[in-house]
Amino acid sequence: MIFTEKKLLAGALIVAMVIFFMPLQQVSAASKPGKVANFKATNVTQTSVTLKWDKVNKAKGYVLYEKQNGKYKKLAKVSGTAYVVMNLDKSTSYTFKVNAYKKTGKRYMYGKGTTLNEMTSEVGGIIKSWNIGGNGKKAL
């Protein structure tokens, strides 16, 4: 009798677990945000750059990273599709990454990262410039 009750209890527990976890697995696989497209740098100056990207369907927001010493360091979590990175060093190469994310309950789900490789900040301001185009003959 006791054996039968234990079996029944165990069976019920398994059924309950299957019911609990199955929908969650399906939700998580189905609703992972897509990969960010058209990730680009605009308004590049000596000290800042504006990063822009296309909106990802059903994403709650985006996480931006900067590669530092071979590892990605989180820069910001934003809800829009643009972010201004400040305090750049001039004439320096930077690599950025963005992931879209979605939140379900307390769980965050991240899409695949999109990388912007070796964006270079402006060399510096031009003090003076001269047009010296010519045909190989004397300037004056």
Partner 1 sequence: MEESLRAGISAVTEKKLYSPKTATSSVKVSLYDDGKLLISGSGNTAVFAGMKNFQLSDDYLPPWVANEKYDDFIKSAEIETTVTPSNMDFWFWIAKNLTAAPAVPSSVTSLNNTFAGTAITVAPAIPSGVTQMSNAFELTSITVAPTLPDSLTIMNGTFSQCKKLKEMPKIPEGVTQMDGCFMYCTSMTTATAIPKDVVSMDELFNHCSSLTGTVTFYNTAEDYDECFYAASTKKGTMLTVNYGSSCSNINKVIKTKSSNSNIVKGKLVSK
Q: Binding residues for partner 1, per CB under 8 A?
A: 90-91, 123-140
49, 41 in Cβ contact below 8 A?
A: yes
Q: Which is nearer to partner 1, 2 or 132 (CB)?
A: 132
Q: Which is nearer to partner 1, 2 or 140 (CB)?
A: 140
Which of 72, 68, 85 lies closest to 121 in space, CA to CA? 85
Taking the complex as a whole, the smallest distance from the CB of residue 91 to partner 1 amounts, in Å, to: 7
Rounded CA separation 46/39 (Å): 20
Taking the complex as a whole, the smallest distance from the CB of residue 41 to partner 1 amounts, in Å, to: 20
Q: Which is nearer to partner 1, 71 or 138 (CB)?
A: 138
Coil, strand or helix at 27: helix
Taking the complex as a whole, the smallest distance from the CB of residue 95 to partner 1 amounts, in Å, to: 22
Taking the complex as a whole, the smallest distance from the CB of residue 94 to partner 1 amounts, in Å, to: 17
CA–CA–CA angle 96, 101, 103 (5° rounding): 155
Rounded CA separation 39/51 (Å): 7
